[in-house]
């Protein structure tokens, strides 16, 4: 009776570890180049929220002939920020509102590129969206 040796071809643990180390080194090289792109993607959250507030303020102004400084009065309930246990990376607030104009601001609660500068965006009653502080 012959005994057959059934050996499966596979990678050794050493080969797998070498591949993981190479992938890790490549990630460390690529990550600093990707940080501006990551910060830009996160800023879309602020831009969308501020654009929504501008549209809600415009509707509110047509009904009440004034702008409001209260987000809840507009019907906009901001998502909880990361420090509050939520997922939002920006704190949204209306910084000024009077019968003829308003200014809303989104301030990052996360330092995306770890340089100590927090991103800020602003929109006014005309819909002018601008980046106040670049991260």
The per-residue pLDDT string of the chain (135 residues; one tens digit each, 9 = 90 and over) reads 566 667 778 889 999 999 999 999 998 888 777 777 777 888 899 999 999 999 999 999 999 999 999 999 999 999 999 999 999 999 999 999 999 999 999 999 988 877 888 999 999 999 999 999 887
- What pLDDT, on a 0 to 100 scale, did the predictor assign at position 25? 92
HEC letters along 60-86? HHHHHCCCCCCHHHHCCCCCCEHHHCC
d(Cα 92, Cα 127) in Å, to the nearest integer? Answer: 16
- What pLDDT, on a 0 to 100 scale, did the predictor assign at position 30? 80
Q: Kindly report the pTM of this predicted structure.
A: 0.74
- What pLDDT, on a 0 to 100 scale, did the predictor assign at position 2? 64
């Amino acid at each position: 009776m012959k005994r057959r040796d059934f050996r499966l071809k596979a990678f050794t643990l050493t080969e797998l570890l070498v591949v993981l180390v190479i992938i890790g080194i490549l990630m460390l090289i690529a990550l600093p180049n990707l940080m501006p792109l990551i910060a830009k993607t996160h800023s879309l959250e602020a831009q969308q929220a501020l654009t929504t507030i501008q549209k809600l303020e415009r509707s509110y102004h047509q009904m009440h002939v004034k702008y409001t400084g209260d987000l809840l009065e507009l019907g906009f309930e901001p998502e909880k920020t990361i420090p509050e246990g939520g997922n939002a990376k920006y704190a949204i607030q209306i910084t000024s509102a009077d019968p003829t104009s308003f200014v809303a601001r989104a301030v990052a609660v996360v330092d995306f590129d770890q340089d100590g500068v927090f991103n800020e965006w602003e929109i006014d009653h005309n819909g002018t969206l601008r980046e106040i502080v670049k991260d």
